[in-house]
Amino acid sequence: MEFTSVLFYIFSFFFVTSAVMMITARNTAKAALLLILTFFSAASLWLLLEAEFLAITLILIYVGAVMVLFMFVIKMLDTDKSTLRAQFTRYLPLGIFVSIVVIAQMVLVLNAGQFDLEVIGVPERHDASYSNITAIAEQLYTVYVYPFELAAILLLIAIIAAITLVHRNQLRSKKQNISEQVNVQAKDRMRFASIKPKSSKESK
Amino acid sequence: MIALSDYLILSSIVFCIGLAGIFINRTNIIMLLMCVELILAAVNTNFIAFSYFNGDLAGQVFVFFILTVAAAEVAIGLAILTLMFRSRGSIDIDVTNTLKG
- The domain limits of chain B are 4-91
Q: Using a CB–CB cutoff of 8 Å, tell me whether B35 touches chain A.
A: yes
Cβ pairs bridging A and B (under 8 Å): 229
Spatial contact of B72 and A154, defined as CB atoms under 8 Å apart:
yes
Q: Using a CB–CB cutoff of 8 Å, tell me whether B10 touches chain A.
A: yes
Name the closest residue on chain A to residue B91, using Cα atoms: A82
Complex ipTM over 0.90: yes
Spatial contact of A110 and B8, defined as CB atoms under 8 Å apart:
yes
Residue A202's SS3 state is helix
* CATH code for residues B4-91: 1.10.287.3510
Q: How many helices (H) and strands (E) does chain B have?
A: 3, 0
B10: exposed, middle or buried (Cβ count in 10 Å: 0-12, 13-18, 19+): buried
- How would you write the pLDDT of chain A (204 residues) with one tens digit per residue? 789 899 999 999 999 999 999 998 888 889 999 999 999 999 999 999 999 999 999 999 999 999 999 999 888 887 655 455 555 667 788 888 888 999 999 889 888 878 877 777 788 788 888 899 999 999 999 999 999 999 999 999 999 999 888 877 665 667 788 888 888 888 888 888 888 887 766 555
CA distance from start to end of chain A = 105
Residues of chain B contacting A136 with CB distance shorter than 8 Å: 57, 60-61, 64
Q: Using a CB–CB cutoff of 8 Å, tell me whether B78 touches chain A.
A: yes
Q: Can you tell me the distance from the alpha carbon of A142 to that of A146, in angstroms, rounded to the nearest whole number?
A: 9
